[in-house]
Amino acid sequence: MTDTRERETARKLDGRQCAAAIREEVRAGCAALMEQHGIRPGLTVVLVGEDPASQVYVRNKEKASSAAGMVSEVLRLPADTGEAEILATIDRLNADDSVHGILVQLPLPAEVEEQNVIQRIDPDKDVDGFHPASAGRLLIGMPGFLPCTPAGIMELLKRNGIEMKGRHAVVVGRSNIVGKPMALLLLREHCTVTICHSRTRNLAEVCASADILVAAVGRPGLITADFIKPGAVVVDVGIHRITDEATCIELFGDNPRRLKAVREKGATLVGDVHPLDGAARAGWLSPVPGGVGPLTIAMLLKNTLVSAGNRIR
């Protein structure tokens, strides 16, 4: 194969810009809801334990919801909190009229059955879109809360004017949070959809037939040039820390900014798409960082505003 890495042709699917626009819309919506109906949207996040990544995510959610004008609350429970106590906390939040959105940060401690907790959340407050009722609504095309990451990707595609009808979309990954709902949302927009996963044969070949490729596999830089049809729309959902210089050079070439980050901060971030190959072959590409990531929180805020608005009789 010819080396196409010299040319960077892909247009950027700018998640930061898209998320900022959505957050501004939500802020305006919150102000209007308060002014016209006296309702201030409330989001409560439940965090069990001290997982460092979860702590960062939760802090970001808290800041973003406050900035949008919401009542923002974080309930921090110790790592050894039992399932019964978590369920009782959710019961209390379900019954609290000032709470419009409930989010239980995942992963939960291993002893806790995640599905029991998710299913305890009132589906009317399920702003994460993880409840089976929300998943079922998405499946059969009823209105309901959509999981934030795939919903954010749809906003990114639509706001950049990406044509979806009749095009072949390939989703790599079959998680309940991203892959499966992503495939259903693309189907809803009249894409022809293929879901791939770790057991898919000829993965590169299937991916290379995609007009729209969504990579949510959890393997750094897996999607190389031979997975990408020239000119395809490529959305990268992966986020991985690269800590060694050799891998950094393999992924980013001699990009001085990335090497500096590894040397001075100890890490740089990469997605599931090989960044040089993606930039050279794709027509559109979402960067990491600054692509899909910022949209997840923006859509959480949007779901919370919608939930609060649903209280108007």
> Is 128 among the catalytic positions?
yes
| Chain residue at closest Cβ approach to ligand GUN | 106
The CB-based long-range contact list for 241-246 (8 Å cut-off, 24+ gap) reads 241/267, 241/268, 241/269, 242/267, 242/268, 242/269, 242/270, 243/267
Site for ligand GUN in 7-66 (CB under 6 A): 57
> Is 17 among the catalytic positions?
no
The DSSP-derived string for 255-269 is -HHHHHIIIIIS-EE
Beta carbon of residue 148, minimum distance to ligand GUN (angstroms, whole number) = 6
Do residues 281 and 4 make contact, with C-beta atoms less than 8 angstroms apart?
A: yes
Choose, by CB under 6 A, the member of 126, 128, 155, 189 that binds ligand GUN.
Answer: 128
Q: Cα(180)–Cα(139) distance, rounded to whole angstroms?
A: 10
Q: Does 106 bind ligand GUN (CB under 6 A)?
A: yes
- Catalytic option among 12, 14, 36, 61: 61
28-57 burial code (b ≥16 CB/10 A, e <16): ebbeebeeeeebebbbbbbbbbebeebeeb
- Catalytic option among 125, 126, 128, 229: 128
Q: Does 187 bind ligand GUN (CB under 6 A)?
A: no
Q: Please identify, among the stretches 90-98, 99-107, 196-204, 233-241, the one whose residues bind ligand GUN according to the rule CB under 6 A.
A: 99-107
> Which sign, positive or negative, has the C-alpha torsion 152, 68, 91, 114?
positive
Q: Does 155 bind ligand GUN (CB under 6 A)?
A: no
Q: Does 239 bind ligand GUN (CB under 6 A)?
A: no
Beta carbon of residue 156, minimum distance to ligand GUN (angstroms, whole number) = 16
User: Which tokens is 182 given?
Assistant: 């992503």
Choose, by CB under 6 A, the member of 104, 208, 212, 280 that binds ligand GUN.
Answer: 104
CA of 281: how far to CAs of 224, 230, 308, in Å?
9, 5, 43
Mapping DSSP to helix (H, G, I), strand (E, B) and coil, where does residue 17 land? helix
User: Which tokens is 201 given?
Assistant: 């044969």
Beta carbon of residue 51, minimum distance to ligand GUN (angstroms, whole number) = 9
User: Which tokens is 76 given?
Assistant: 């921090």
Q: How many residues bind ligand GUN (CB under 6 A)?
A: 8
Q: Does 77 bind ligand GUN (CB under 6 A)?
A: no
Q: Does 296 bind ligand GUN (CB under 6 A)?
A: yes
Q: Please identify, among the stretches 22-30, 79-87, 102-110, 218-226, the one whose residues bind ligand GUN according to the rule CB under 6 A.
A: 102-110
> Which sign, positive or negative, has the C-alpha torsion 295, 301, 304, 310?
negative
> Is 105 among the catalytic positions?
yes
Q: Please identify, among the stretches 15-23, 98-106, 236-244, 280-288, the one whose residues bind ligand GUN according to the rule CB under 6 A.
A: 98-106
Whichever of 118 and 234 has its CB closer to ligand GUN, that residue is: 118
Applying CB under 6 A, the residues found at the interface with ligand GUN are 57, 103-106, 128, 148, 296
User: Active-site positions?
Assistant: 61, 105, 128
